[in-house]
Structure 1
Amino acid sequence: MRKVIVMTAILALTACGQESNDKIQRAKAASEAAMVQAPVGHWALEITEGQRATITDTTGRLLDNGFTPYIFESGGVQHFLIGPFTTEAQAVQAQEKMKLKRKLDGIETNVIELPAAN
């Protein structure tokens, strides 16, 4: 991403006829300063087995109540998850919010730690 920003800045400066090395260096420095590391989620809520409703029905109920589920495959097994969350505490808090919503009765979850991305 940073390389794209730097190349764009260099091309913009060159196209304007301003090929000053000093301006190119300032553009590189500005792009490096603006780069922010996004937090990586390592925790999720796993929807447990035994649901009588279909995945589409459960997904609709979750979406209607502000939770976005997704399918995560690990070791050839698909997991139906909500998240990811940066911390375990955030995952537990979301689990508690789900328990308070009557329309989500019957949807059971477990807090799990996601495997590290390779």
Structure 2
Amino acid sequence: MRKVIVMTAILALTACGQESNDKIERAKAASESAQAQAPVAHWALEITEGQQATITDSTGRLLDNGFTPYIYEREGVKHFLIGPFATEAQAREAQDKMKLKPKLDGIETNIIELPVAN
């Protein structure tokens, strides 16, 4: 799953003309660190910004500001998420940090609880 996330981030960055190695390496590093959190994480921020076409723009802006987005598919529906977070409080803190970043204006999020992996 992490390889899919990294590839999605790489493709998104390439599609919006931001293919610098630095950004790709940051996406890989963030993905590897998120993998260590995954077994205990049950919360995430869902990007509710709108259309699928804006994902490439949003991905670049989020990565530039220290947030690693990923795509999560559940029951055939794809969700554009940031996280995962171990607690709802951590997700709320990340959401508040996003609101303070001027470059992330217009990216709306909802805090959601992820299903427990079986």
For 1:44-99, what per-residue CA distance to the aligned partner results, in whole angstroms no more than 9, with x for missing partners? 00000425962111000000000000000001100000000000000000000000
Q: Is the 8 A contact 2:91 2:111 kept in 1?
A: yes
Q: Percent identity?
A: 80
Q: Distance in 1 between matches of 2:49 and 2:57?
A: 15
Q: Is the 8 A contact 2:49 2:106 kept in 1?
A: no
Provide runs of 4+ in structure 1 moved above 2 Å.
49-53
- Give the alignment of 1:1-118 within 5 angstroms: 40-50=40-50, 54-118=54-118
SS in structure 2 opposite 1:67? coil
1:40 Cα deviation (Å)? 1.1
Cα gap change, 1:64 to 1:49, in 2 (>3 Å) = closer
Q: Is the 8 A contact 1:51 1:107 kept in 2?
A: no
Cα gap change, 1:104 to 1:51, in 2 (>3 Å) = farther
Query: Which 5+ residue runs of structure 1 have no aligned equivalent?
Result: 1-36
Q: Distance in 2 between matches of 1:89 and 1:117?
A: 21
RMSD across aligned positions (CA): 2.0
Q: Distance in 1 between matches of 2:113 and 2:56?
A: 24
Higher helix share: 2
Q: How many aligned positions are there?
A: 82
Q: Is the 8 A contact 2:49 2:107 kept in 1?
A: no
